[in-house]
Chain A
């Protein structure tokens, strides 16, 4: 069964606006990762946040992690049309066999010029 659950399933915004996507998960984790997938392509790793971290930044991306609520958020600031893609969160469970990464169903982000 999938671990992460993204919300919303779809998000449509104008260029220049901020986009926020949320991820909830069920068990204790070692880390949580966010990926982007453009239509018809493979996934691209965006950012990894470890269970003892609360916030990470990478360019226009900001990820937060709240382990008490078992949730994470991905903020894309000043969105561009090129940010249009599906975004997935993925978790590596704590205590489970290493190498198992579980993905959610994703958020489809559309950024209109």
Chain B
């Protein structure tokens, strides 16, 4: 039981490049979310999903896309990276109305 697995752990992108942050969970959780964490800002919700085929926007969705084709996977796509997207990204999953299990994070730098 690996929990929530995020890859990669570190990434450096050039402005304008695209990439996908991977997130997988093996706990059969219905809910999955992506957060970004910036110094002094806590965690802000980017996108979330309450089940396969269902996604919705959070507080800061601009510049990011998600899809949820399976219960296990919830990738986050950066379409055209910008320096403002330099952050630490966390994926999390939970059963309905339960506590979230977080991945260990992806530290992204956009230069």
Contact = CB atoms under 8 A, between A and B. Distances in A.
Interface string B88-104: 00101000111111111
B53 interface: no
A41 B101 contact: no
A12 interface: no
Contacts of B49: 99
Given A42-B105, A97-B56, A102 B97 contact: no
Nearest to A97: B56
A31 interface: yes
B62 to A, nearest CB: 15
Contacts of B44: 2, 103
Nearest to B59: A1
Contacts of B45: 100-102
A44 B92 CA distance: 10
A98 B29 CA distance: 14
Interface of A: 1-2, 30-31, 33, 35, 41-45, 47-48, 88, 90, 92, 97-106
State the 9 A-B residue pairs at the shortest beta-carbon distance, nearest first: A45-B99, A42-B102, A105-B42, A103-B43, A99-B50, A43-B102, A99-B31, A42-B104, A103-B42
A99 B102 CA distance: 14
A48 B99 contact: yes
A98 B43 contact: no
The B contact surface, by secondary structure, is: strand
B42 A42 contact: no
Interface in B67-111: 90, 92, 96-105
A45 B100 contact: yes
Max count, chain B CB within 10 A of own CB: residue among A41, A47, A98, A106: A98
A98 B96 contact: yes
B93 to A, nearest CB: 10
A104 B99 CA distance: 16
A92 to B, nearest CB: 7
Contacts of A48: 98-99
Contacts of A88: 42-43
B101 A99 contact: no
